[in-house]
Amino acid sequence: MHIDIQQASVSRIKEIPDGDLGFGRIFSDHMFSMDWSGDTWIEPRIHPYGPIEIIPSALALHYGQSVFEGLKAYRGPTDDRIRLFRPHSNAQRLKASCERLCIPCVSPDIFLEAIRELVSIDCAWVPHGPDCSLYIRPLLFGSEGTLAVRAASTYRFLIITAPVQEYFNRQGQGIYLKAEHRFTRASPGGTGGAKTAGNYAATLQPMSDSAGAGFDQILWLDGVEHRYVEEAGQMNIFFHLGDTIVTPDLSGTILPGITRDTALTILREWGYKIEERRISMDEVITASKTGNLREAFGAGTAAVVVPIDRIHYLGQDLQLPQAGNHSLCQQLYQAITELQFGVTQDNHGWSVLVD
């Protein structure tokens, strides 16, 4: 693929605030764009980051025909080399999301080449530091202008990047979740397993309400009985019950997290018994009362792995055991981040170097 490149005349890298990157507040100098027209992808290009022109009748604006991904680039602390972590998995997940939303897929080769070229051009934006990275957001949406309720005939594929810190402050005991028994994130037969904009729009009101009440995130329950645990905010969730790690199975209502799969792979290598199955709040409460619940944690691209301190359910707070520095959550966090930053050897072929 030949990518046309238009360099920014002036870099905005000096706009990065000292010591406070936040998450997704400032964006790097360039972006990638490509269009689907006539049954093929055309005009791949990298150009300065900025507003794009979109017709007001674009299908994505009216009917939500839009999918996206999230991954990161990391700067090695010892070799200063830049690594992408599991981009091939993101490419495959984007393909699955596209198929669910009737969007033409971007091949994994084009996906990876576009990201590597963009990150290479903006390599100075990949921050230094153990809790910092360059967040990469590929986005694909229907750009055809029509009010007909159908799949679009033209699309745009964009990639933007942003230097970020980790999503949660890791200095505290853990996050406080509200188990949501009114609103539903996803239902059987819906789009819960796809990474599409509409899934996130549906969470905004309950998330805003819960934040105003002092909660860090929502614990999403199943959309039928509102009894079974599904996701913790935008993360997959794990429970350490006795000698077993339990996480909800991928039944179509849960996003197949790449950090989830990474954690499961490492845990199996460490010899833990893994159960991917439904787990109800009643089971979690019983395990806590009997002392069988050792810890719980969430896993996702933005947060990596973060401990859960409390869960509010039907008016009561469930206090989870204090994780501590030697918890399984902390061990996983260290193991995953050392792989991401190239500190330990990658025996899985997960890391992709950016020249």
**Listed residues 135, 165, 195: the one ending a domain:** 165
Question: Are residue 266 and residue 325 in the same domain, yes or no?
Answer: yes
Which CATH number do you get for residue 47? 3.30.470.10
User: Cβ atoms within 10 A of the Cβ of 53, count?
Assistant: 5
Please tell me the chain's helix, strand, coil percentages from 3-state DSSP, rounded to the nearest 5. 25, 30, 45
**Listed residues 165, 195, 220: the one ending a domain:** 165
pLDDT of residue 355: 82
Task: Give domain status of residue 38, yes or no.
Answer: yes
Question: Are residue 194 and residue 72 in the same domain, yes or no?
Answer: no
In DSSP notation, 11-26 reads --GGGSPTT--TTTSS
- C-alpha distance from residue 148 to each of 62, 65, 151, 201 (Å): 10, 12, 9, 22
Beta strand 82-85 pairing with 132-142: unpaired
Task: Give domain status of residue 42, yes or no.
Answer: yes
Task: Give domain status of residue 289, yes or no.
Answer: yes
Question: Are residue 206 and residue 149 in the same domain, yes or no?
Answer: no
Question: Are residue 179 and residue 156 in the same domain, yes or no?
Answer: no
pLDDT of residue 35: 98
Task: Give domain status of residue 347, yes or no.
Answer: no
Question: Are residue 142 and residue 240 in the same domain, yes or no?
Answer: no
Beta strand 132-142 pairing with 40-48: unpaired
The residue with tokens 């080399």 is: 81
**Containing structural domain, residue 26:** 4-165
Is residue 238 within 8 A of residue 272, CB to CB? The reply is no
Which CATH number do you get for residue 241? 3.20.10.10
Q: Quote the crossing angle between the two packed helices 258-269 and 87-100, to the nearest 10°.
A: 130
Task: Give domain status of residue 345, yes or no.
Answer: no
C-alpha–C-alpha distance, residues 153 and 144, integer Å: 6
User: Cβ atoms within 10 A of the Cβ of 170, count?
Assistant: 15
Task: Give domain status of residue 170, yes or no.
Answer: no
Is residue 296 within 8 A of residue 239, CB to CB? The reply is yes
Question: Are residue 209 and residue 135 in the same domain, yes or no?
Answer: no
**Listed residues 165, 194, 212: the one ending a domain:** 165
pLDDT of residue 172: 66
Question: Are residue 155 and residue 260 in the same domain, yes or no?
Answer: no
Task: Give domain status of residue 353, yes or no.
Answer: no
Question: Are residue 151 and residue 186 in the same domain, yes or no?
Answer: no
Question: Are residue 118 and residue 210 in the same domain, yes or no?
Answer: no
Question: Are residue 330 and residue 234 in the same domain, yes or no?
Answer: yes
For 207, the enclosing helix (H) or strand (E) is helix 204-212
In DSSP notation, 278-340 reads --BHHHHHHHHHHT-EEEEEEEETTTEEEEEEEEEETTEEEEPPP--TTSHHHHHHHHHHHHH
Report angle CA 281, 309, 201 to the nearest 5 degrees.
70
pLDDT of residue 1: 84
Domains: count for the chain: 2
Reading the block at residue 212, the tokens are 């105003």
Beta strand 351-354 pairing with 82-85: antiparallel
Beta strand 217-221 pairing with 229-232: antiparallel
User: Cβ atoms within 10 A of the Cβ of 350, count?
Assistant: 19
- Using the Cα atoms of residue 204, residue 209, residue 212 and residue 216 in order, give the sign of their dihedral: negative
For 112, the enclosing helix (H) or strand (E) is helix 108-121
pLDDT of residue 323: 66
**Residue-wise pLDDT tens for the chain (355 aa)?**
899 999 999 999 988 877 778 888 899 999 999 999 999 999 999 999 999 999 999 999 999 999 999 999 999 999 999 999 999 999 999 999 999 999 999 999 999 999 999 999 999 999 998 889 999 999 999 999 999 999 999 999 999 999 998 877 666 689 999 999 889 999 999 999 999 999 999 899 999 999 999 999 999 999 999 999 999 998 999 999 999 999 999 989 999 999 999 999 999 999 999 999 999 999 999 999 999 999 999 999 988 999 999 999 999 999 998 767 789 999 999 999 999 999 999 999 999 999 8
Is residue 245 within 8 A of residue 332, CB to CB? The reply is no
pLDDT of residue 57: 98
Task: Give domain status of residue 351, yes or no.
Answer: no
Question: Are residue 125 and residue 244 in the same domain, yes or no?
Answer: no
Question: Are residue 197 and residue 156 in the same domain, yes or no?
Answer: no
